[in-house]
Chain A
């Protein structure tokens, strides 16, 4: 009964390919996020959705497109993958978009672009 689950856990692909990462939460939370952790372990927000509505869109290349079919799911599609996209991508959820709600993270997807 994993709270926030992401698939796949590992993703190895070649430059130029398109790939997707899926995320689901069973906590009944309203808000979901995508974070990127680079090779130096630095975590930075990419996107956030609240009840299927995009509320945060940081400076991310257009090749990255999030989609939230319902409030329990948030997927990340990446077009034309580049070497610099190699990182660990974390999905997270929080009870609501208001400040103070802790984020619950998935186990991450390690993306390697060769």
Chain B
């Protein structure tokens, strides 16, 4: 079974700083996908970024980028020029590739606070 571990329960940075959230996972699969989701206080789950394991290039979405290290099974999220609206719980998630029934397996989450 796949497991996802986020070792930082909470983080706090000043506005405009850069912050990196850690995520490691355990799997024997070779074909899989990794995601970061954001959950602000409004409770909504918002997709931040997606990475295919077969792609060596790290995914980027505006101020959000990942550092995907497949051999180390590490998938960290970097938020540049952090903004107050980035305050949220951040969840790392794993999904197997291929056919059949697939599901997202989530980490425990990291609570990120951006201070003014």
Q: How many A-B residue pairs have CB under 8 A?
A: 68
Give chain A interface residues in 44-89, CB to chain B under 8 Å: 44-45, 48, 50, 55-56, 88
A35 to B109, CA, bound (A): 15
**Which of B31, B37, B42, B102 counts the most chain A CB atoms within 10 A?**
B102
Q: Are A40 and B98 interface neighbours, CB within 8 A? A: no
Q: Which residues of A contact B68 (CB under 8 A)?
A: none
Q: Are B32 and A99 interface neighbours, CB within 8 A? A: yes
Q: Which residues of A contact B31 (CB under 8 A)?
A: 99
Q: How large is the interface on A (under 10, 10 to 19, 20 to 34, 35 or more residues)?
A: 20 to 34
**Which of B35, B37, B39, B50 counts the most chain A CB atoms within 10 A?**
B39
A27 at the interface (CB under 8 A from B): no
- A88 partner, pick from B35, B43, B52, B96, beta carbons under 8 A: B43
Q: Which residues of A contact B97 (CB under 8 A)?
A: 98-100
- A97 partner, pick from B35, B50, B100, B109, beta carbons under 8 A: B100
Q: Are A102 and B108 interface neighbours, CB within 8 A? A: no
- B91 partner, pick from A43, A88, A97, A110, beta carbons under 8 A: A43
A33 to B96, CA, bound (A): 16
